[in-house]
Structure 1
Amino acid sequence: MLHVRAGQSFMVLCDQCSVLVFQIAVVFALTHSCSDADGLLSLVLWRWLFYVVPCACEVAVWSLRCRGQSEVIGPLQPVVALIGHDILLPCNLDPVMDATEMTVEWARPDLDPRFVLVWRDSVDMESKKHPSYTSRTSLFKNELKNGNISLKISKVKLSDEGTYRCFVPELDRYTTVQLVVGAASSSAAWINSTISSRVVLQCESAGWYPEPELLWLDGEGKLLSAGPTETLRGPDDLYTVSSRVTVEKRHSNNITCRVQQRNTNQSRETHIHVPDDFFIVISPPSNQTNDPNIIAVVIGALVVLILILAVSFVVWKKRRAKCKKKKSEEDGAEIGLKGESEPLMSGKEEDDDVDRREAQIHEDKREIKQDQLVLETERMKDIKSPQEERINPSNDRESLITIEQETHEEQEVTGREEEHDVDNSGEKVK
Structure 2
Amino acid sequence: MSAETMEVRWFRSQYSPVVHLYCDGQDQYRQQMPEYGGRTELSKDDLTNGRVSLRIRDIRPSDDGQYTCLFQSGDSSEEALLELQVAGLGSAPGISVEGHQDRGIRVVCRSPGWYPQPEAQWRDLQGQLLPSASENISREADGLFQAEIAIVLTEESNQKVSCCVRSPRLDQERESAISIAELFFPRVSRWRVALGVILPLQAVLIVLAGYCFWRQHRAKETLRSKLESEKGQ
Structure 1 residues 248, 147: CA separation in 2 closer, same or farther (over 3 Å shift)?
farther
**For residue 227 of structure 2, what is the aligned residue in structure 1?**
none
Letter in 2 for 1:219: L
Q: 2:84 aligns with which of 154, 179, 186?
A: 179
Structure 1 residues 193, 172: CA separation in 2 closer, same or farther (over 3 Å shift)?
same
Letter in 1 for 2:126: E
Counterpart-to-counterpart distance in 2, 1:145 and 1:278: 72
TM-score, normalising length from structure 1?
A: 0.37
Counterpart-to-counterpart distance in 1, 2:13 and 2:29: 18
SS of the residue corresponding to residue 168 of structure 1 reads: strand
Q: 1:116 aligns with which of 8, 13, 19?
A: 19
Structure 1 residues 148, 253: CA separation in 2 closer, same or farther (over 3 Å shift)?
farther
**For residue 373 of structure 1, what is the aligned residue in structure 2?**
none
Shift of 1:259: 2.1
Shift of 1:263: 4.0
1:231-277 Cα shifts (integer Å, max 9, x gaps): 44445444433221123568993322122342465633222233454
Counterpart-to-counterpart distance in 2, 1:260 and 1:154: 25
Shift of 1:135: 1.9
Question: Mapping of 1:10-409 within 5 angstroms?
Answer: 102-110=6-14, 113-144=16-47, 148-170=51-73, 171-186=76-91, 187-194=93-100, 198-248=104-154, 253-263=159-169, 265=171, 267-278=173-184
Task: Compute the RMSD of aligned alpha carbons.
Answer: 4.0
Counterpart-to-counterpart distance in 2, 1:221 and 1:146: 54
Query: Relative CO higher for 1 or 2, CA cutoff 8 Å, sep ≥ 6?
Result: 2
Asked if structure 2 preserves the Cα contact closer than 8 Å seen for 1:180 and 1:264, the reply is no
Counterpart-to-counterpart distance in 2, 1:116 and 1:145: 21
SS of the residue corresponding to residue 219 of structure 1 reads: coil
Asked if structure 2 preserves the Cα contact closer than 8 Å seen for 1:194 and 1:278, the reply is no
Letter in 1 for 2:12: R
Counterpart-to-counterpart distance in 1, 2:118 and 2:78: 38
Letter in 2 for 1:254: K
Shift of 1:227: 1.9
The unaligned stretches of length 5 or more in structure 1 are 2-97, 290-298, 307-430
SS of the residue corresponding to residue 169 of structure 1 reads: strand
SS of the residue corresponding to residue 45 of structure 2 reads: helix
Count residues with an aligned counterpart: 193
Counterpart-to-counterpart distance in 2, 1:102 and 1:168: 7
Structure 1 residues 153, 271: CA separation in 2 closer, same or farther (over 3 Å shift)?
same
Structure 1 residues 99, 277: CA separation in 2 closer, same or farther (over 3 Å shift)?
farther
The unaligned stretches of length 5 or more in structure 2 are 195-201, 210-233
SS of the residue corresponding to residue 103 of structure 1 reads: strand
Shift of 1:210: 3.6
1:40-90 Cα shifts (integer Å, max 9, x gaps): xxxxxxxxxxxxxxxxxxxxxxxxxxxxxxxxxxxxxxxxxxxxxxxxxxx
1:193-239 Cα shifts (integer Å, max 9, x gaps): 35698443211233444433321111222111112313444454444
Shift of 1:162: 3.1
User: Normalized per residue, which structure has more helix?
Assistant: 1
Shift of 1:279: 5.1
Counterpart-to-counterpart distance in 2, 1:266 and 1:99: 43
Letter in 1 for 2:26: V
Asked if structure 1 preserves the Cα contact closer than 8 Å seen for 2:158 and 2:182, the reply is no
